[in-house]
Structure 1
Amino acid sequence: MINMFEVNETNKMIEQENLDVRTITLGISLLDCIDSDLEKVNQKVYEKITGLAKNLVQTGEDISKEYGIPIVNKRISVTPIALIGGAACKTPEDFVTLAKTLDKAAKEVGVNFIGGYSALVSKGMTKADELLIRSIPQALAETERVCSSVNLGSTKTGINMDAVKLMGEMVLATAEATKEDDSLGCAKLVVFCNAPDDNPFMAGAFHGVTEADAIINVGVSGPGVVNYALSKVRGENFEVLCETIKKTAFKITRVGQLVAQEASKRLNVPFGIVDLSLAPTPAIGDSVAQILEEIGLERVGAPGTTAALAMLNDQVKKGGVMASSYVGGLSGAFIPVSEDQGMIDAVNLGALSLEKLEAMTCVCSVGLDMIAIPGDTPATTISGMIADEMAIGMVNQKTTAVRVIPVIGKGVGETVEFGGLLGYAPVMPVNTFRCDDFINRGGRIPAPIHSFKN
């Protein structure tokens, strides 16, 4: 039973501590849209998305008004488009027509992003996969709301190094294609190892092939709530600290569970998962870095940062799974540089480097996220960064990702403005020693020995 104390507590979290439901994401299967005729595929895709999602935005707004819970974004994820367009698309430009159809459908129903311009190539690439990947720079340059992701590796299959090499080139090409907007296209492009099928957060969301025809996934975020709770137990031991994080995560997840069930009922779409992720925003007090500093670090990046983040991530997950039987997605702590004022401050002070961020990705929920790097960074160096992150995910049996933005025309120390939730970022230095011979070997890095569990 929900009592008055809990209602007042939740209201305080919303009004003073930046608690929000970051997104309601409607996952839509497009498998029944496959056709060998490209025009028919585009028509089927548009009609299915606009038919199923026509009430999504209004439903989110209605729930927000009735319960007083901010629901920041309403989004759509679809089946990886490399699968849907494979029979009809013979060139990268053919795939771009599908990207434009997704964009048109997203605008029609009013969502801010649509994810699933994606390919799953952890073990090898089909011709369709390669065509879609090569189309990404043009697709992201010529659309507004489309997000793209590519899964390059997994603990079960190893790392597809041919795809890693290609994606380094595509990241740089996307930066070049959108250089008039400070290479903003790269903010809508992420590569994964062990990508989850039910992630509601962009830019990595896609609707997994094992999912139902349509599904409602909700992402909740509350770094400010956790930070405020920890300020009340300053100086206490780790047992008290962990209990406080768990209890707070429980309360936050319950809000997401409520919204997810309501959206599911009103849209007549099954409820999938709640993703409890401490996803920061540029807003003051809505920072994962500030949580780590509240735990006891002078600045994020100081010795002890990885241990503090590991503890935070684990306690968030433990609190979340007690609040909902269906916790999924990424769930944990995100460390995007441009979206977190505390991270930005740490970079500017010299406390946080790319190498320390990589170490932190071993224990966070995503990886190298929203990091601006010099625009003259070679494609092979970007591929090397991707390979390192894929290896962390593969060996540790966790999801890892890379979303870096080589800002064309800008160098270390300059700042790039993305606006909105994407924030702004200082351009960070990248190790200038080359890895070309390693990246150019080709082939696949095998799965680790502990992947054999059959």
Structure 2
Amino acid sequence: MDTAHDILETIEMIEEYRLDIRTVTMGISLLDCADPDPAVACQKIYDRIVGLGGELVPVAHGIETELGIPIINKRVTVTPIALVAAASHTEDYTCFAQVLDRAAATIGVDFVGGFSALVQKSRTSSDLKLINSLPHAMESTELVCASVNIGSSKAGINMSAVAQMGETIREVAARTGGMGCAKLVVFCNAVGDNPFMAGGFHGIEEGDCCINVGVSGPGVVKRALDKLPDASFGQMAETIKKAAFKVTRMGQLVGTMAAERLGVPFGIVDLSLAPTAAIGDSVAEILQTMGVDRVGGHGTTAALALLNDAVKKGGLMACSHVGGLSGSFIPVSEDAAMVEAARNGSLTLDKLEAMTAICSVGLDMIAIPGDTPASTIAAMIADEAAIGMMNNKTTAVRVVPVPGKSVGDEIDFGGLLGSAPVMAVNPSSAERLTRRGGRLPAPVHSFRT
């Protein structure tokens, strides 16, 4: 920010274009907290999160005030609990979710992620305990987010785990009225430095503690494109790159300041375009500004490809430490224009699946009928995992079966999660496919070194 023009432009981006820092997330390793006695392990976990994260929210508020930049969420991620709890003599891991919830409430963060298991190749007894604990854990906590990684480009897809997660999502939905599923993600190629929820966890390759930042900025990109209604594809790409550069630089500034003040290393900036339900803060509106009549129509995937690539190129020029998911999110309930497209039928699950070959993550925040069979949910997970595995990218499924709701009914998730119509799923049975079990082999290109 070297000139008066840059300063004024940044103020305009904040006040008019909804520029914000979507999240400042502290990653905390819990590997030293393992103990045979679950009560002892839980106390260690609580003490470590409160000890390291106690100043996270005050520091973030201070940066907000100092720079005038909204920081929407303050979050914590931890080591996958299936690894931490493995030494403990207990069959039910709900106590670990509950202590994460208590610690998160104590330090005042919005969410804590990491009630997670990594089962892309096989499942340990600890992994199974965690997955079996998910329904009770999601029912008995408010701030805890959970994830299970069921596949990777190197290992293939653990189809036994996929089938189990279909059943688990159904049970979580039944116990929580569907809301618990908004905090549960099933991944392929999950990354360990993701600051966004619900899929964030602190990877085993990470250090003791770090600060990761997730930026936003769909409004900034849209307003920049609004000024060029007749631009060529090349001109649109250059415009998006410049906007992404500015947004990412802001994220790096905030992350560096937070890390220095908390006395921990700065990790990465995740430069994903993360929409909200507010009008003007929408990835779908960007695609429509680019020329798509309604998101979901023909041409949507091509426009999304240009957007995602240009965002990455601009962000990589702005910051040497880019990580996480970094792209364009398409969570249906959290994007006002996508909600409208789903309501009028132009956006379907089939089209969303095609778009996930391009965007960050996958089928995200989609309400489906409460009576959707577990095997159908498992098959949706398998399809998304196959896209991720074959294309060496992160994909995920966060669907919400809403008990008692049918296609066309509305569900309000509240807050940033927004609302959405219940979408139709393919009625064909996937029972014979998903009950086979075993592992879907990794693709041939996984042997590249």
TM-score of Structure 1 vs Structure 2, range by shorter chain: over 0.9
Give CA-to-partner distance per residue, 1:280-324, whole Å, 9 cap, x none.
Answer: 001110000000000001100110100110110010000000000
- Secondary structure at 1:279's aligned position in 2? coil
Q: Which amino acid aligns with 1:52?
A: L
User: Does residue 49 of structure 2 align to residue 54 of structure 1?
Assistant: no
Q: Which amino acid aligns with 2:349?
A: L
Q: CA deviation at 1:236?
A: 1.2
* Equivalent position of 1:73 in the other structure: 73
* Equivalent position of 2:104 in the other structure: 106
Alignment of structure 1 residues 59-138 onto 2, 5 Å? 59-92=59-92, 95-138=93-136
- Secondary structure at 1:278's aligned position in 2? coil
For 1:348 and 1:376, the matched residues in 2 are separated by 20
- Secondary structure at 1:108's aligned position in 2? helix
Give CA-to-partner distance per residue, 1:245-266, whole Å, 9 cap, x none.
Answer: 0000000000001000000100
* Equivalent position of 1:25 in the other structure: 25
Which of 289, 314, 319 lines up with 1:294 in the alignment?
Answer: 289
Please say if residues 369 and 403 of structure 1, whose CA atoms lie closer than 8 Å, have aligned partners that are also in contact. Answer: yes
Over the matched positions of the two proteins, sequence identity in percent amounts to: 61
Q: CA deviation at 1:4?
A: 1.3
CA RMSD of aligned residues (A): 0.6
User: Does residue 423 of structure 2 align to residue 425 of structure 1?
Assistant: no
User: Does residue 388 of structure 2 align to residue 390 of structure 1?
Assistant: no
* Equivalent position of 1:145 in the other structure: 143
* Equivalent position of 1:439 in the other structure: 434
The count of residues paired between Structure 1 and Structure 2 equals 449
Q: Which amino acid aligns with 2:60?
A: G
Q: Which amino acid aligns with 2:50?
A: T
For 1:451 and 1:307, the matched residues in 2 are separated by 27
Which of 322, 330, 337 lines up with 1:335 in the alignment?
Answer: 330
* Equivalent position of 1:453 in the other structure: 448
Q: Which amino acid aligns with 1:185?
A: G
For 2:283 and 2:435, the matched residues in 1 are separated by 37
Alignment of structure 1 residues 215-226 onto 2, 5 Å? 215-226=210-221
- Secondary structure at 2:212's aligned position in 1? strand
User: Does residue 362 of structure 2 align to residue 367 of structure 1?
Assistant: yes
Q: Which amino acid aligns with 1:262?
A: M
Give CA-to-partner distance per residue, 1:157-185, whole Å, 9 cap, x none.
Answer: 00000000000000010000101xxx110
Please say if residues 165 and 383 of structure 1, whose CA atoms lie closer than 8 Å, have aligned partners that are also in contact. Answer: yes
User: Does residue 294 of structure 2 align to residue 304 of structure 1?
Assistant: no
For 1:298 and 1:313, the matched residues in 2 are separated by 19
Which of 332, 341, 350 lines up with 2:345 in the alignment?
Answer: 350
Please say if residues 170 and 374 of structure 2, whose CA atoms lie closer than 8 Å, have aligned partners that are also in contact. Answer: yes
Q: CA deviation at 1:89?
A: 4.3
Bigger Cα displacement from structure 2, 434-443 vs 82-91: 82-91
* Equivalent position of 1:15 in the other structure: 15
Which of 252, 257, 266 lines up with 2:247 in the alignment?
Answer: 252
Q: Which amino acid aligns with 2:414?
A: G
Q: CA deviation at 1:453?
A: 1.2
Please say if residues 38 and 90 of structure 2, whose CA atoms lie closer than 8 Å, have aligned partners that are also in contact. Answer: no
For 2:220 and 2:85, the matched residues in 1 are separated by 43
Q: CA deviation at 1:90?
A: 2.9
For 1:306 and 1:89, the matched residues in 2 are separated by 49
- Secondary structure at 1:377's aligned position in 2? coil
* Equivalent position of 1:243 in the other structure: 238
Please say if residues 268 and 323 of structure 2, whose CA atoms lie closer than 8 Å, have aligned partners that are also in contact. Answer: yes
For 2:310 and 2:116, the matched residues in 1 are separated by 31
Q: Which amino acid aligns with 2:202?
A: H
- Secondary structure at 1:277's aligned position in 2? coil
For 1:335 and 1:153, the matched residues in 2 are separated by 21
User: Does residue 316 of structure 2 align to residue 321 of structure 1?
Assistant: yes
Q: Which runs of 5+ in 2 are unaligned?
A: none
- Secondary structure at 1:25's aligned position in 2? strand
Q: CA deviation at 1:45?
A: 0.3
Q: CA deviation at 1:205?
A: 0.3
Q: CA deviation at 1:235?
A: 1.2
For 1:133 and 1:387, the matched residues in 2 are separated by 17
For 1:224 and 1:89, the matched residues in 2 are separated by 50
Give CA-to-partner distance per residue, 1:92-145, whole Å, 9 cap, x none.
Answer: 2xx100100000000000001000000000000000001101111110110000
- Secondary structure at 2:260's aligned position in 1? helix
Q: CA deviation at 1:350?
A: 1.1
Give CA-to-partner distance per residue, 1:70-97, whole Å, 9 cap, x none.
Answer: 00110000000000001114312xx100
* Equivalent position of 1:412 in the other structure: 407
For 2:226 and 2:242, the matched residues in 1 are separated by 14
For 1:59 and 1:130, the matched residues in 2 are separated by 38
- Secondary structure at 1:85's aligned position in 2? helix
Q: CA deviation at 1:399?
A: 0.4
Which of 156, 162, 180 lines up with 2:154 in the alignment?
Answer: 156
Please say if residues 353 and 363 of structure 2, whose CA atoms lie closer than 8 Å, have aligned partners that are also in contact. Answer: yes
User: Does residue 372 of structure 2 align to residue 377 of structure 1?
Assistant: yes
For 2:85 and 2:231, the matched residues in 1 are separated by 56
Q: Which runs of 5+ in 1 are unaligned?
A: none
Please say if residues 230 and 241 of structure 1, whose CA atoms lie closer than 8 Å, have aligned partners that are also in contact. Answer: yes
Q: Which amino acid aligns with 2:161?
A: A
Please say if residues 89 and 128 of structure 1, whose CA atoms lie closer than 8 Å, have aligned partners that are also in contact. Answer: no
